[in-house]
Amino acid sequence: KPEGEMRYAVYVTISPTWFDPAEVATVGITPFWFCYALHDALLKPMPDNPMAPSLAESWTLSPDQRVYEFKLREGLKFHNGDPFTAEDVKFSFERYKWPKYHREKFQQVEIVDPYRVRIHLVQPWPDFMTFYGTLTTGAGWIVPKNYIAKVGDEGFRKHPIGLGPYKFVSYTPGIELVMEAVEGYWRKVPHVKRLVFKTVPDPATRLAMLKKGEVDVAY
């Protein structure tokens, strides 16, 4: 079982928008620190594969190169117990903040059955999988449709629910983010039970905060 705690000192103030894959665009690698922990994607870069199957077990491309079909992994559940299905994939794809010039390339997202999805393109787009299956965007990372319908976008960023190896515990703005291991994670159960990301201000700001009594020396 996971045990122990690991603390990360991060050089930026953690933004709640980074907990939401729909907000993750081509702005650098930082938001993916949290995507990899809290969420999961249909396919994503892994150490042994730059486009590894994850929530999608496999995918195919039609002969005319306009339809991508994804076979989803069955039996998975979000951190709140909701089942993962094709509805979540369609919802996440359509919710993602695609730039207009990209959105115009898509015709529709079709649910074939609860564990099979087809993405229809207007015309062949050879770079589609680069945008959907790598860290170029957060479009392929999946969020729970039913949960977001209940709490809304703002509620989701305050308490994100995902499919990743770690679940959200708490977030103190400007101070720290705490996550705990999910023992039922399908790929590999984490070794470390608790992760704590602590925002470390620059030296001048830290000194000013120390004088005001806002932080202690150990911080």
Find the mean pLDDT for residues 149-171: 97
Residue for token pair 């965007």: 137
pLDDT of residue 217: 46
Q: What's the average model confidence in pLDDT over 167-186?
A: 95
How does pLDDT run across 60-83, given as a tens digit for each residue? 999 999 999 999 999 999 999 999
Reported as a single tens digit per residue, the pLDDT across 9-55 is 888 889 999 999 999 876 578 899 999 999 999 999 999 999 999 99
- And the tokens for 85? 């299905």
Q: How far apart are CA 99 and CA 97, in angstroms?
A: 6
Q: Which of 23-37, 83-97, 112-126 has the lowest mean pLDDT?
A: 23-37
pLDDT at 214 over 60: no
Lowest mean pLDDT among 36-40, 77-81, 172-176, 211-215: 211-215
Q: Cα separation of 166 and 172, whole Å?
A: 17
What interhelical angle do 86-95 and 145-158 show, nearest 10? 50
- Binning pLDDT at 50, 70 and 90, where does residue 152 land? very high
Phi, psi of 167 (to 5 degrees): -110, 150
